[in-house]
Copies of this chain bind each other. A is one copy, B any other.
Amino acid sequence: MENKRIIVIGGSAAGPKAASKARRMDENAEITVYQKASDLSMASCGYPYYVGGFFDDRSQLLCSPAGVVRDSRFFWNAKKITTKVLTEVNSIDREKKQISYTDLTTGETGMAPYDKLVIATGATARRPPVPGVELQGITTLQSIADADYLRKIKDEGVIKRAVVIGGGLIGIETVEALHLAGIEITLVELLPQLLTFLDKQMARLVETYVQTKVNVILHNGVASFLGENGKLNAVKLQDGTEIPCDLAVLAIGVIPNTRLAREAGLEIGERGGIKVNSYMQTADPDIYAVGDCVEIPHLITGKPVHAPFGDLANLQGRVVGENMIKGNRVKFPGTIQTGICKVFDYGVGSTGLSEQHAIREGITGFETVVNASLDKPGFMNGNLLITKLIVDKESRRILGAQVIGPGDVSKQVAIWAMAIKGRLTVDEMANADLPYAPPFSLAIDHSIATAHIMQNKLDGYLTGITADELYRRVKEEESLLLLDVRNPIEFEQMRLGIGERLIPLGQLRSRLGELPEDKQTEIVTWCKISLRGYEAALILQANGYTNVKVLEGGIAAWPYAREK
Q: How far is the CA of A414 from the CA of B377 in the complex (A)?
A: 18
The answer to whether B444 touches A314 (Cβ under 8 A) is: yes
List, in ascending order, chain B residues with CB within 8 A of A430's CB.
315
The answer to whether B421 touches A423 (Cβ under 8 A) is: no
The answer to whether A65 touches B539 (Cβ under 8 A) is: no
CB distance from A94 to the nearest CB of B (A): 28
Known: A440-B342, A490-B66. A413 touches B435 (CB 8 A): yes
The answer to whether B437 touches A340 (Cβ under 8 A) is: yes
Chain A, 393-442, CB within 8 A of any chain B CB: 408, 410-411, 413-415, 417-419, 421-424, 428, 430-441
The answer to whether B542 touches A49 (Cβ under 8 A) is: no
The answer to whether B411 touches A433 (Cβ under 8 A) is: no
Q: How far is the CA of A27 from the CA of B508 in the complex (A)?
A: 13
Instruction: Find A377's partner among B46, B332, B445, B538 (CB 8 Å cutoff).
Output: B46
The answer to whether A439 touches B49 (Cβ under 8 A) is: yes
Contact with B along A33-45 (1 / 0, CB 8 A): 0000000000101
Q: How far is the CA of A529 from the CA of B417 in the complex (A)?
A: 27
Q: Please name the residue on chain B nearest to A48 by beta carbon.
A: B438
Chain A, 491-547, CB within 8 A of any chain B CB: 505-507, 509, 527-529, 531-532, 534-535, 538-539, 541-543
List, in ascending order, chain B residues with CB within 8 A of A5's CB.
none
Contact with B along A46-82 (1 / 0, CB 8 A): 1001100011010011010111100000100111100
List, in ascending order, chain B residues with CB within 8 A of A49's CB.
379-380, 438-439
Q: Which of A108-116, A305-313, A353-361, A363-371 lies at the interface?
A: A305-313
Q: How far is the CA of A380 from the CA of B309 in the complex (A)?
A: 18
Q: Does A549 contact B (CB under 8 A)?
A: no
The answer to whether A50 touches B379 (Cβ under 8 A) is: yes
- Of A79, A312, A379, which is in contact with the most chain B CB atoms at under 10 Å from its CB? A379
The answer to whether B50 touches A433 (Cβ under 8 A) is: no
Chain A, 330-360, CB within 8 A of any chain B CB: 332-333, 335-342, 347, 349, 351
Q: Does A104 contact B (CB under 8 A)?
A: no
- Of A65, A309, A428, A452, which is in contact with the most chain B CB atoms at under 10 Å from its CB? A65
Q: Does A275 contact B (CB under 8 A)?
A: no
Copies in the complex: 2
The answer to whether B340 touches A542 (Cβ under 8 A) is: no
The answer to whether A435 touches B338 (Cβ under 8 A) is: yes
List, in ascending order, chain B residues with CB within 8 A of A154's CB.
none
Q: How far is the CA of A423 from the CA of B349 in the complex (A)?
A: 25
CB distance from A151 to the nearest CB of B (A): 13
CB distance from A96 to the nearest CB of B (A): 30
Chain A, 153-205, CB within 8 A of any chain B CB: 173
The answer to whether B410 touches A435 (Cβ under 8 A) is: yes
Known: A45-B438, A432-B417. A310 touches B65 (CB 8 A): no
What number of A residues sit within 8 Å (CB to CB) of B?
A: 106
Q: Please name the residue on chain B nearest to A376 by beta carbon.
A: B410
Instruction: Find A436's partner among B80, B309, B318, B434 (CB 8 Å cutoff).
Output: B309
Known: A333-B431, A538-B24. A436 touches B66 (CB 8 A): no
Known: A45-B443, A379-B60, A421-B428. A505 touches B433 (CB 8 A): no
Q: Does A383 contact B (CB under 8 A)?
A: no
Q: Does A373 contact B (CB under 8 A)?
A: yes
List, in ascending order, chain B residues with CB within 8 A of A318's CB.
452
List, in ascending order, chain B residues with CB within 8 A of A527's CB.
66
Q: Does A458 contact B (CB under 8 A)?
A: no
Instruction: Find A411's partner among B411, B487, B490 (CB 8 Å cutoff).
Output: B411
CB distance from A210 to the nearest CB of B (A): 16
Q: Does A560 contact B (CB under 8 A)?
A: no
Instruction: Find A532's partner among B66, B349, B438, B441 (CB 8 Å cutoff).
Output: B66
The answer to whether A28 touches B339 (Cβ under 8 A) is: no
The answer to whether B379 touches A46 (Cβ under 8 A) is: yes
Q: Does A19 contact B (CB under 8 A)?
A: no
Q: Please name the residue on chain B nearest to A378 by beta carbon.
A: B60
The answer to whether A505 touches B78 (Cβ under 8 A) is: yes
Q: Does A319 contact B (CB under 8 A)?
A: yes
Q: Please name the residue on chain B nearest to A374 by beta carbon.
A: B65
Known: A65-B531, A419-B418, A421-B424. A43 touches B78 (CB 8 A): no
Q: Does A486 contact B (CB under 8 A)?
A: yes
List, in ascending order, chain B residues with CB within 8 A of A471's CB.
none
Instruction: Find A432's partner among B43, B421, B440, B543 (CB 8 Å cutoff).
Output: B421
Q: How far is the CA of A486 from the CA of B55 in the complex (A)?
A: 25
Chain A, 263-310, CB within 8 A of any chain B CB: 299, 309-310
Q: How far is the CA of A341 from the CA of B313 in the complex (A)?
A: 34
The answer to whether B490 touches A444 (Cβ under 8 A) is: no
Q: Please name the residue on chain B nearest to A349 by beta carbon.
A: B435
Q: Does A119 contact B (CB under 8 A)?
A: no
Chain A, 1-53, CB within 8 A of any chain B CB: 13, 24-25, 27-28, 43, 45-46, 49-50
Q: How far is the CA of A24 from the CA of B337 in the complex (A)?
A: 37
The answer to whether B43 touches A377 (Cβ under 8 A) is: yes
Ordered by A's residue number, 5 sampled pairs between the chains whose C-beta atoms are within 8 Å are A68-B487, A341-B437, A417-B435, A418-B422, A421-B422
